[in-house]
Amino acid sequence: MRVTIKGQVTIPQHIRDKLGIRPATEIDFVEENDRVYIIKKKLPNEKFAGLRGIADVRTTTDEVMALTRGE
């Protein structure tokens, strides 16, 4: 793995899948005994974060508003 000039690396897909890392996932780096670990941050109020973006129903905003308002 190579570090870019901006200090970026690509996390391999199998590791992202295993850790549940998706776009916009917050991660942190932990140093311990001359090693660096990547951990996924646990953010408050992110109970449903794992479900974000998995819906396959295409509903418009107007349709959602009608459903929530009982129209």
Q: In terms of residues, how long is the chain?
A: 71
Q: Which amino acid is at 60?
A: T
Asked whether residue 14 carries a pLDDT value surpassing 90, the answer given is yes
pLDDT at 41: 82
β-strands 27-32, 35-40 pairing: antiparallel
pLDDT at 24: 85
- 7: alpha, beta or left, given left = phi > 0 and alpha = psi -120 to 50? left
C-alpha torsion angle, residues 56, 24, 47, 18 (rounded to 10): 80
pTM score, two decimals?
0.50
Per-residue model confidence as pLDDT tens digits over 17-42: 988 888 888 888 999 999 999 888 87
pLDDT at 8: 92
